[in-house]
Amino acid sequence: MKVISVLVLLAGLAIAAERPGENLNIDHVNYVLNNQRLLTNYIKCLLDERPCTGEVRELKKLLPELLKNGCNKCDTSKRAIAEKVVRHLQTKRKQEWATLLAKYDPKGEYQKRYNSAQAPHA
């Protein structure tokens, strides 16, 4: 599974951050990734297992469009943030990553597109 930048969690928040008033930066991303309780809550929200806070609710609304457009509105720094999040989930939260993929890309069509478009990480 290669980077599906727009699939999960903060990848979507990266796009949402383009709107005025949003405050996403690498420090916030690191905070979320290192706060297991918060990250778990974000994931559970995306999986419809618990209510969502405002920023994650926005992410849920954005995910379908983000998957379709391939994060084409992301700048370089937001793409880097998205890739960091995906790598974190793939390596440290494998089960949740698989569950998120099953929910948001059940046919694997977006995975295929991103796998062919991006080289694998070493």
Residue pLDDT, tens place only, 76-122: 777 777 778 878 988 999 999 889 888 888 888 877 765 554 544 44
Domains delineated in the chain: 9-114 (1.10.2080.10)
Site of tokens 């995910």:
63
Predicted local confidence at residue 31, as pLDDT: 92
Dihedral angle computed from the Cα positions of residues 17, 100, 88 and 58, in that order, rounded to the nearest 10 degrees: 10
Condensed to tens digits (0 to 9), the pLDDT of residues 33-68 reads: 999 999 999 999 989 999 998 878 877 777 766 666
* Residue 46: partners with Cβ closer than 8 Å, 6 or more residues away: 8, 9, 52, 56, 59, 60, 63, 100, 103, 104
**Threshold 0.75, pTM exceeds:** no
48 Rama class: left (phi>0) / alpha (psi -120 to 50) / beta: left
CA dihedral defined by 57, 66, 31, 48, rounded to 10 degrees? 40
